Structures are given as C-alpha cells and as structure tokens.
Structure 1
Amino acid sequence: MVTIITILAACILFLISLLHVFWAFGGTWGKNVVLPEEQGNRAFSPSVGGTLLVALLLSMAGGILLIEANHISLPEKYLIVQIGAWVCAVVFALRVLGDFNYFGIGKKKRNTKFSKMDTYLYIPLCAFLSVAFIVAINCGG
C-alpha cells in the first residue's frame, strides 16, 4: 500500500509540474480555474518565471518523495532529502489550511469557479500529497 500511495503521489506531482510548464509556454487548458478570483478577475497573474519555478519545485518534490520512499536508491540517506520530505509534507498541509481568504478549508470567498475546484479537488489533493510524504517518511526506510 505504501508503494501505491507514494508512486501515485509522485506521478501526480510530475503531471502537475508538466501542466505548469504547459501554462508557462502559453497553454490555456484549465487556466480559468487554477487562480483565485476577486470580483470576476484573477486575484493575481503569475509570471512565466514564477510558473516555471513552481514546475521545478513540484518535480523536485516528486523526486524527493521517490527517494524518501526508497523507490530511487541512493548510496546513503541524505539529510537534505529527509528535510525536503518534511518541508513538502508541511507545505501541502498548510495549503490545505489555506490563507483564510481565497483558498484552503478556511477560505472566505466561496462563490467562484476557483473556490469550488479548491473545495472539491485542490484541498483533497494537497491533503493526499501531504499524507503521502508522511507515509514515505514513516515507512520508507
């Protein structure tokens, strides 16, 4: 079960990373429901560089997860991987809690396309990813 959870989570992270690369280079699929809205407009517009940075971080998180869960073998256990796994677990858990305004379980703005996707997809996905990192930390070796 640990293998299924961690490999599925890593695949999801890599797919989301590729989606960010797609958006950074002009792709539009799904773009209308991935950013918080304020009075019908995006609350912010990320730069190409910012979007690519998120893609890189998501790929790194996927790699860290695979290493921490021992799906990728290294000659020794590196402290940076262990710290990275904890950071990822905490970041995804904080994303579940949110900013208490636009996203997360404590959000105030609930009547937008983004907030509905946040409730039904993004929050459960981030909770799953956080749990996957915790599973890898505790069971990965």
Structure 2
Amino acid sequence: MQVVLAVILSALLIAIGVVHLYWMLGGRKGMSIALPSHGDGSGKPLFKPGRFEIGAVIVLFWAAALLVLMYADVIPAIGPPRLPRLAAWALVIVFAIRAIGEFHYLGLFKRYRTSPFGRLDTYVYSPLCLVMSGLTWWMIGVS
C-alpha cells in the first residue's frame, strides 16, 4: 500500500511540476488563475514570478517526488539514511500549512474568495494540498 501511495503522490507532484515547466518555457494559459490577485477587484496579481522563481518551484516539486519514491523504496535512497523520512514529514507539514493558508489571499481560511484564483484555491488548490498532506501522512503511517 505504501508503494501505491508513494506513486500516486509522486505522480501528482511531477504533474504539478510539468505545469510549472510549461509556464517557465513561456506558456501563459492558466497562469492568471494560478496567482492570487489583490482583493480590490482589480484582478492585478500580487506578484509576478520570473523564470528563476518558477524553475525553483519545479525543482522543489520534482525533488519532493523523488524523496517520496525514496521513502517507499521505489527508487534507491541517496544521501543520509533519514533524509526520505524527514522529507516526508516536511511534506506533511508544508502541504498542511499551504492548505490552511495565510488568512488573506491563500488557503481554506482566506478572506478574499471571489477572484478567479480565490475560487479555484477554495475548491481545488487548497483541498489538493490537504489531500497531498494526508496521503503523505498515510504513507508514513503505513510503514
């Protein structure tokens, strides 16, 4: 069961990384609904990530996918023996924090919900983070 959970979680992480790769290579479809916007109704994004920032996000998602696969012994572990377990717990925490949010523009408890990003964050992004946190927690508990 642990291997199945690891493969599902790593596939999600890789797929999210692929979407970011599309944006880094110049694709713009979906970018406007992937960034939080000001609560004043202007639709202006709070920030505009450059290629370097998007590339860093890709590396983090794909590294997380590899570490999850290492944790479940799907691929051989590299580095310190405790690294995959520490990384798995870090993912549980990071995805739970992302799901909860910062109470203004991001997360399940945000104040600004009516923008296109706000609606998708409420119904897709934050629940997905909660699911990924739960899947990782379940994967750790299976071992």
Q: Unpaired segments of 5 or more residues in structure 1?
A: none
Matched, 1:79 2:82: yes
1:99-139 deviations in Å (ceiling 9; x for gaps):
10001011000110001100111011101111121122222
Find the residue that maps to 2:102 and give its secondary structure: coil
Find the residue that maps to 1:31 and give its secondary structure: coil
Matched, 1:136 2:143: no
Find the residue that maps to 2:93 and give its secondary structure: helix
Matched, 1:65 2:72: no
Q: With structure 1 as the length reference, what TM-score do the two structures score?
A: 0.91
Alignment-derived partner of residue 37 in structure 2: 37
Matches within 5 A, 1:1-141: 1-38=1-38, 39-74=42-77, 78-139=81-142, 141=143
CA distance in 2, matches of 1:2, 1:125: 19
- Percentage identity across aligned positions? 29
Pairwise CA distance, 1:54: 0.3
Pairwise CA distance, 1:46: 0.9
CA distance in 1, matches of 2:78, 2:87: 18
CA distance in 2, matches of 1:17, 1:102: 22
Say if 1:65 and 1:136, in contact at 8 Å, map to a contact too: no
CA distance in 2, matches of 1:59, 1:81: 14
CA distance in 1, matches of 2:36, 2:104: 10
Q: Unpaired segments of 5 or more residues in structure 2?
A: none
CA distance in 2, matches of 1:47, 1:13: 21
